[in-house]
């Protein structure tokens, strides 16, 4: 009996011993893998970022290399019609013309496209006239045409009606002041108006425009001027306000991939005062890439240069006006702007034949201007100047 008990315990002992030996052998062969699994997973989970996707970097569009521009003006309606754009592209082929100036915000203050700017949407100051602005610009670029966005600034009946607190006030009525055409103006001394127009310019640049051309960068010039009241003019002058606005545009757009230009009255090239509208060409030239005086001969008064009808003498008027402008800027320190004038391409005071247009271009070049732009409000262009 005792012998049987000893045999039983011996068998049990051997089974236990065998189990221990097998376990030790298994653990010895697998311990590296087990330890690796027990340490690598949490370390990888918490510290290994080698496979984390990098943020997508979108290359910012670069500013086009500067070149001399020879452009013509198009309304937003013209720009919205592809058949008109095709006609203009064909019209420009083989000519000196290489740019178009398109209204994105015209004299009415209405934006010509569906904007994403919150204040525009709140005020409903946009219209969906040009359906696809980027596609329009691409079409122009595909045909080697430089695209300029024209933006009317302070003459803005649309926003003035929506935001009367931002408009020029009528001291007699307390309401919104209006000029001789019944148009309301934004108050240039209110910086909310600056920001509104800056946002529009940036949106246009995002669409792909090569340049923003700012028009009506001035105080009103006609109407019952004595009744105008401005919010913040007490400790400044009109010229001072406009100079500060020019600097504001430059400072906020200098790193954008587009040039900026400012339209000026023709007389700014030879007047030393601001003509009560705040425009001084020497001030504008400090901050714009191009200053664009509107030297339309028809807009000079009888007796200018002793001509009864200056419109009949396009060469002489343009030559003198731009020569004086170049002389004015030649003595300005740190001037950055080149002069690129608006030239007359419409009948007023005289019939403007191709020869009349060529005479303006000749005068402009001789005076040292850097290109030109042709203005016809109805976009009727019958003559495309040839390369010379």
Determine the pLDDT at residue 7.
57
Are residue 167 and residue 212 in the same domain, yes or no?
Answer: yes
Q: 279-282 long-range CB contacts below 8 Å, 24 or more apart?
A: 279/217, 279/218, 279/239, 279/242, 280/239, 280/242, 280/243, 281/325, 281/328, 281/329, 282/328, 282/329, 282/332, 282/335
Model pLDDT for residues 131-142, shown as the tens digit of each residue: 999 999 999 999
Residue 108 burial (CB count, 10 A): 16
Give the pLDDT mean for 19-29: 48
Q: Looking at the structure, tell me whether residues 232 and 138 fall in a common domain.
A: yes
Q: Would 64 be classed as within a structural domain?
A: no
- pLDDT category at 10 given cuts 50, 70, 90 is low
- Say which residue, 36 or 225, is predicted with more confidence: 225
Instruction: Evaluate if residue 43 carries a pLDDT over 70.
Output: no
pLDDT exceeds cutoff 90 at 115: yes
Q: How confident is the model at residue 11 (pLDDT cuts 50, 70, 90)?
A: low
Together in a domain, 34 and 81 = no
| Residue 23 predicted with pLDDT over 90 | no
Residue 160 lies in a domain: yes
Asked if 103 and 35 sit in the same domain, the reply is no
Residue 18 has pLDDT above 70, yes or no: no
Poorest-confidence range of 7-16, 101-110, 126-135, 268-277? 7-16
| Same domain, yes or no: 133 and 258 | yes
- Mean pLDDT, rounded, for 106-120: 98
Domain identity same for 77 and 191? yes
Residue 28 lies inside a defined structural domain of this protein? yes
Token pair 């045909």 is at which residue? Answer: 143
340 close to 98: Cβ distance less than 8 angstroms:
no
Give the Cα separation of 18 and 282 in Å (integer). 103
Mean pLDDT of 100-116: 98
Domain span at residue 42 reads: 1-49
Dump pLDDT digits (tens) for 356-387.
999 999 999 999 999 999 999 999 999 999 96
Query: For residues 48 and 217, which has the higher predicted lDDT (pLDDT)?
Result: 217
CA distance 61 to 371: 24
Q: Does the pLDDT value for residue 56 go beyond 60?
A: no
Pairing of strands 169-170, 228-229: antiparallel
Q: Are residues 117 and 171 in the same domain?
A: yes
4 and 98, same domain (yes or no): no
Q: What total of structural domains would you count in the chain?
A: 2
Q: What is the pLDDT of residue 33?
A: 39
Q: Does 85 map to a domain? A: yes
Residues 327-335, mean pLDDT to the nearest whole number? 95
Q: Are residues 250 and 171 in the same domain?
A: yes
pLDDT value at position 12?
58
Higher per-residue confidence, 44 vs 330 = 330
Whether residue 297 lies inside any domain: the answer is yes
């Amino acid at each position: 009996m005792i012998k049987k008990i000893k045999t039983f315990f011996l068998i049990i002992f051997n089974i236990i011993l065998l189990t221990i030996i097998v376990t030790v052998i298994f653990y010895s062969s697998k311990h590296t893998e087990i330890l690796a699994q027990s340490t690598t997973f949490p370390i990888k989970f918490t510290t290994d970022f080698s496979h984390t996707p990098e943020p997508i970097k979108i290359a910012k569009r670069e500013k086009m290399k500067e070149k001399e521009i020879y452009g013509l003006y198009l309304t937003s309606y013209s720009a919205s019609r592809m058949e008109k754009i095709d006609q203009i592209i064909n019209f420009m082929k083989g000519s000196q013309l290489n740019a178009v100036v398109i209204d994105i915000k015209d004299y009415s203050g209405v934006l010509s496209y569906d904007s994403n700017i919150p204040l525009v949407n709140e005020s409903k100051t946009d219209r969906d006239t040009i359906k696809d602005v980027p596609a329009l610009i691409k079409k122009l670029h595909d045909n080697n045409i430089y695209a300029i966005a024209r933006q009317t600034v302070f003459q803005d009946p649309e926003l003035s009606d929506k935001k009367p607190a931002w408009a020029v006030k009528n001291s007699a009525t307390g309401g919104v002041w209006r000029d001789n055409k019944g148009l309301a103006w934004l108050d240039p001394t209110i910086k909310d108006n600056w920001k509104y127009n800056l946002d529009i310019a940036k949106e246009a640049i995002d669409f792909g425009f090569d340049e923003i051309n700012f028009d009506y960068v001035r105080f009103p010039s006609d109407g019952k001027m004595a009744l105008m009241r401005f919010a913040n003019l007490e400790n400044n002058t009109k010229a001072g306000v406009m100079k500060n606005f020019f600097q504001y545009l430059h400072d906020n757009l200098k790193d954008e991939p587009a040039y900026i230009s400012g339209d000026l009255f023709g007389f700014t090239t030879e007047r030393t005062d601001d003509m009560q509208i705040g425009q001084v060409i020497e001030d504008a030239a400090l901050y714009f890439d191009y200053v664009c005086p509107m030297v339309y001969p028809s807009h000079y008064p009888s007796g200018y240069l002793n001509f009864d009808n200056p419109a009949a003498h396009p060469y002489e008027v343009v030559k003198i006006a731009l020569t004086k402008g170049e002389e004015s800027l030649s003595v300005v320190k740190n001037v950055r702007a080149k002069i690129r004038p608006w030239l007359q391409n419409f009948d007023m005071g005289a019939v403007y034949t191709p020869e009349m247009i060529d005479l303006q271009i000749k005068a402009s070049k001789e005076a040292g201007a850097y290109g030109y732009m042709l203005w016809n409000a109805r976009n009727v262009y019958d003559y495309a100047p040839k390369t010379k």
